[in-house]
């Protein structure tokens, strides 16, 4: 896409401005953006984003933070500087520090993925069935057999659909 101002160079910056509930979008080249006074940080990294979420090197002297990943040797301090883990084993090695960070970033520590258009009903049914099965198990353990029978019937009804 060409710059909307000069119509000569490739637009690399999307500038969005909202004034009185009206959205204005401009696609600009770096030179025109600079001339309009739009300052952009040139080098953005995931480390910068994560650093904004909290001090990743905080507590780097603690036993957990000082420990190294057994597979690649990365430390929590290294992760704070680089912004990415060294290998898949790092997730296990740093789980105590990663879980609170992931919760702050994503709102959850468990990945649920995205539903493909038109599959939201199937996903909803799966989670409802899973929840009902857990309730059924708890009812059985509590010897609430009448309640368990009702839950079992709900599960069968959903499965038939």
Mean pLDDT of the residues in the chain: 78
Confidence tier at 24 by pLDDT (50, 70, 90): confident
Q: Is 8 inside a domain boundary?
A: yes
Q: What per-residue confidence (pLDDT) applies to 122?
A: 64
Answer yes or no: is 114 within a domain: no
49 lies in a domain? Answer: no
Q: Does any domain span residue 11?
A: yes
Tokens 């401005």 — which residue? 17
Q: Rounded distance, CA 153 to CA 97, Å?
A: 43
- One domain, residues 95 and 129: no
**β-strand partners of 137:** none
Do both 58 and 94 map to the same domain? yes
- The verdict on 59 and 94 lying in the same domain is yes
Distance CA 148, CA 133 (A): 10
Report the distance separating Cα 14 and Cα 33, nearest Å: 9
**pTM, whole model, 2 decimals?**
0.38
For the chain, the first-to-last Cα distance in angstroms comes to 48
List the one residue out of 112, 109, 114, 66 whose CA is nearest residue 91. 109
| 8 close to 31: Cβ distance less than 8 angstroms | no
Structural domain count, the chain = 3
pLDDT confidence tier of residue 65, bands split at 50, 70 and 90: very low
Comparing 95 with 114, the larger pLDDT belongs to 95
Q: How far is residue 92's CA from residue 70's CA, in Å, rounded to a whole number?
A: 10
pLDDT of residue 126 exceeding 60, the answer is yes
Report yes or no on 46 lying in a domain.
no
Regarding whether 126 and 95 lie in a shared domain, the answer is no
Query: Given the structure tokens 């993925």, which residue do they identify?
Result: 113
64 and 29 share a domain? no
In a domain, 47, yes or no: no
* pLDDT surpassing 80 at residue 95: yes
Q: Report whether pLDDT(46) > 50.
A: yes
Domain contains 115: no
**What whole-number distance in Å separates Cα of residue 97 and Cα of residue 89?**
14
Q: Quickly state the pLDDT bin for 49 (edges 50, 70, 90).
A: low
Instruction: Out of 106, 129, 146, pick the residue that ends a domain.
Output: 106
The pLDDT assigned to 127 comes to 80
23: domain range? 1-40
Q: What angle do CA 132, 134, 139 make, to 5 degrees?
A: 90
């Amino acid at each position: 896409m060409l710059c909307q101002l000069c119509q000569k160079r490739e637009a690399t910056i999307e500038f969005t401005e909202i004034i009185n509930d009206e959205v204005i979008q401009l696609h600009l080249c770096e030179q025109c953006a600079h001339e309009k006074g739009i300052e952009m940080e040139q080098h953005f990294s995931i480390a910068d984003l994560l650093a904004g979420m909290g001090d990743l090197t905080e507590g780097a002297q603690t036993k957990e933070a000082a420990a190294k990943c057994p597979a690649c040797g990365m430390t929590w301090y290294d992760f704070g500087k680089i912004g990415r883990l060294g290998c898949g084993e790092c997730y296990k090695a740093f789980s105590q520090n990663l879980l609170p960070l992931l919760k702050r970033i994503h709102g959850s520590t468990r990945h649920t993925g995205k539903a493909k258009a038109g599959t939201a009903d199937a996903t909803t049914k799966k989670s409802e069935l899973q929840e009902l099965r857990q309730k059924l198990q708890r009812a059985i353990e509590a010897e609430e057999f009448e309640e368990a029978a009702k839950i079992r019937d709900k599960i069968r009804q959903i499965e038939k659909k």
